[in-house]
Amino acid sequence: MNENNGLELEEQKSELGKVEISPEVIEVIAGIAASEVDGVATMRGNFATDVAEKLGRKNHGKGVKVELEEDGIIIDVSVVITYGVSVPNVANLIQSNIKQALQTMTAIDVQAINVHVVGVQFETIEQNPEEV
């Protein structure tokens, strides 16, 4: 197998050859699937991804870490949720949505999807400047 940034690429063989799916592609798929869930305010990345987004570069894999293991992949997702939602329900929906997206798009076995709730976003009420 090939190596990419210390992680091995996921390979699948067919009669026409092999298909390699890099961990970055898995991160993007999982990131988009997680952000689609109602109750997820934002994905939480590191300082570098936050700076890159402020400079206009969208990172769909933000807040997702992929580890390739012998018997499948382990995905860690860091999210900020909206205040007032049920954390267990949102976490279960995130896990289901990621698993479904990865099975549909890549047919890769998922060993675990760990959801890390790292913050809560409160809705801000914007006041009309004429009322102030």
Q: What pLDDT sits at residue 75?
A: 95
In the predicted model, what is the mean pLDDT of residues 23-44? 92
- Ordered by start, the domain boundaries in the chain are 21-121
**pLDDT at residue number 38:** 95
CA angle, corner 74, sides to 71 and 31, nearest 5?
140
Dist CA 55 CA 106 (whole Å): 31
| Superfamily of domain 21-121 in the CATH hierarchy | Cation efflux protein, cytoplasmic domain (3.30.70.1350)
**% of the chain surpassing 70 pLDDT:** 70
Q: 100: buried, middle or exposed (CB in 10 Å: 19+, 13-18, 0-12)?
A: exposed
> What is the spatial distance between Cα 82 and Cα 74, in angstroms, rounded to a whole number?
25
The answer on pLDDT for 120 being more than 90 is yes
What is the structure's pLDDT at 55?
Answer: 52
